[in-house]
A and B are shown apart, each in its own frame.
Chain A
């Protein structure tokens, strides 16, 4: 009898001829997530099995696996030989410490050679539990514990299901870079895209010394949290101080934000070409602030050709906050260090900028040169 974790995946099963590619990616990501633990991984039909781990670390392993996209359920289980004595012994083991609870046994028999039918297996296992464990009762409608016996080549007894994030394995959906500020939205945007299988890196724009090093550290802390979901995370920190100084000196203040955002996208696009990112990701949500109106987004988007994904565009702040709490980035995001946008913030930013006016303001700047200078400041932090 062997204790193991059975990993079940949902959407991947719907894939056709490239299903193995998805399964292999998932197995790779599982391996990465468990690199701090001693455990081995085995693929069987329709599942991945994690085994040979120290049972004291089972909870920690489950916590790490809960952040791997593509997993629908983790099931705690015993694997044993496909004979009734072994199945009964494993069932007792699974029901230890379940005194006072109700249970139900369900059986599946994909190995049709097995001596008993599914209902017969359930009945025999149930009776064995009732005979050997005190103070447990059967409840077939709403059991506290659902014990599932599955007879394949070997037999499996499942006793606890942990619901996971679902989604697709990171890496199967291409590579993207999120524009990561210190705020609440961008980490959530990164999380959502990673959940659809995108391998995510981050680009952080800072205006040190106008902002403190704490603001940058905050972004590093956010990236670290995200890395738990993305199986590693590279953060590119870029100084936009020179650009902000030039905009302030030369352009009308109400266009500062939209001009700066155009610069950010341009720098990000350059980095994307260099590093192989296929899309950019932002945390923009329609109408949230002046730079996120449809007019402002049109003006910023015009600066680049690369696709810009905005997974939060139709999301209310309360829902974003809920997701930020879920991924544990909220408490970091609300730390009071200003990120690059706020210190230069104009009193009255243009809410509905027109592209012609933005271009006229931008003409006052040596755009190419400023972008190149900013790219010289890139600092890479691997998490």
Chain B
């Protein structure tokens, strides 16, 4: 039975070439890239290859270097805590982020707050766009770090990263800007060259799971979070995960050959039209014709329905989507959707559909027709 996978914002299927590359590497070049012998040197080449490809995807070659991590959560933690820990007295620094972040950023900033740092969370408009004037007005002489999400993982809202970065740097060029590019990398081409640090994760763009990177301007320094053998210039101790890093590099190579933005956007518009034809315009949270959004996510809400029930109904036909929030009374309400002014009923009924280049129009037709019958079934019993 086929799988209809619409949860690509959670993770993607790795490219076949990536799977082969990783497994061959594990078999043939299993040396530790930090070893001094020639075999270790072979493994190290893979790390260089991946770093170079990652920088090329963002067109940042030359001024940036790459620290490999186990994923976006570690990268964001390193960026945020590593920056704060550079200062002698954490209580004297000020950090700004938005209310629309992934927990790897928001929880790291909250952690700094518990350590005594001053923190501010800037609001967003109904499209999820960061209120730039509010952000700029929060900047103080002791503001050391601004961290924001490029593409929001729940709605796909796409921030004008360059504009935000430039505006912050215009006020104080010494403020470190960290961009969480986990959802945007490999899908959107934009100039992020103003940023000091950029977080990415391989499994969101058909790379292997368990590997990510923090891309850092050459001039930026950090206090490491992990103590250990001093690998990666002391910034990230721990044996370098060469096979997965090689796989990440391979995924970038494929992206560079055929950048998927246009294909994704076409499919997203098809999905959008199918959904609005079936349910009307009101259900859409990701309003792609009104504001900037990434090309792979559509968030929609069925007011009054429990999205988790819809998710399980679709799952019966091997259709996999994500629910905006859990309806279980035991689960925590963690959605950032209510930050855009969405009612609780709409948050409870929110589904996230996220596509990839493997998604076909037939898949989308299948999803929408099954979604229609599921919604009808629930509406009939008045749930």
Interface set of A (CB-CB < 8 Å, partner B):
208-213, 245, 248-249, 336-338, 342-343
Select B309's contact among A209, A213, A248, A336, beta carbons within 8 Å: A209
Task: Give the nearest-CB partner of A209 in chain B.
Answer: B312
**In the complex, per-residue mask of B327-361: 1 if CB is within 8 Å of any chain A CB, else 0:** 11111000000000000000000000000000000
Contact between chains at B312 and A208 (CB < 8 Å)? yes
Tell me, rounded to whole Å, the shortest Cβ–Cβ distance linking B169 to chain A: 45
Bound together, the chains give a CA A245 to CA B374 distance in angstroms of: 13
Q: Which residue of B lies closest to A345 (CB)?
A: B329
How far apart are the CA atoms of A343 and B307 in the complex, in Å? 13
List 11 additional A-B contacts (Cβ < 8 Å) besides A211-B312, A213-B312: A209-B313, A209-B315, A210-B309, A248-B381, A248-B382, A249-B380, A249-B382, A337-B328, A338-B328, A343-B306, A343-B327
Q: How many A-B residue pairs have CB under 8 A?
A: 33
Q: Interface size of B by Cβ–Cβ distance < 8 Å?
A: 17
Instruction: Determine whether the beta carbon of B381 is less than 8 Å from that of A249.
Output: yes
Determine if A336 and B308 form an interchain contact, defined as CB atoms under 8 angstroms apart.
no
B383 sits at the interface (CB 8 A): yes
Interface string of B299-322 (1 = CB under 8 A from A): 000000010110011011000000
Min CB distance B56 to A, Å, is: 42
A210 adjacent to B380 (CB under 8 Å) = no
State the CA gap A343–B377 with chains docked (Å).
Answer: 16
- Distance of A237 Cα from B328 Cα, bound (Å): 22
| B382 and A210 contact, CB distance less than 8 A | no
CA distance A209 to B380 in the complex (A): 16
Instruction: List the B side residues contacting A208 at CB < 8 Å.
Output: 312, 316
Q: Give B7 Cβ to nearest chain A Cβ, in Å.
A: 15
Bound form: Cα–Cα A210–B309 in Å: 5
CB closest residue in chain B, given A208: B312
Residues of chain A within 8 A (CB-CB) of B316 are 208-209
Beta-carbon contact of A336 and B315 below 8 Å: no
A251 to chain B, nearest CB (A): 11
Q: Which residues of B contact A212 (CB under 8 A)?
A: 308, 312
Residue contact A248 to B312, C-beta cutoff 8 Å: no
**Given known contacts A209-B312, A212-B308, A212-B312, A336 and B328 CB-to-CB distance under 8 angstroms:** yes
The complex places the Cα of A89 from the Cα of B352 at a distance, in Å, of 75
Output the least CB separation between B265 and chain A (Å). Answer: 32
Which chain A residues border B328 with CB–CB below 8 Å?
336-338
Complex Cα distance A355/B167, Å? 72
**B381 contacts A336, C-beta separation under 8 Å:** no
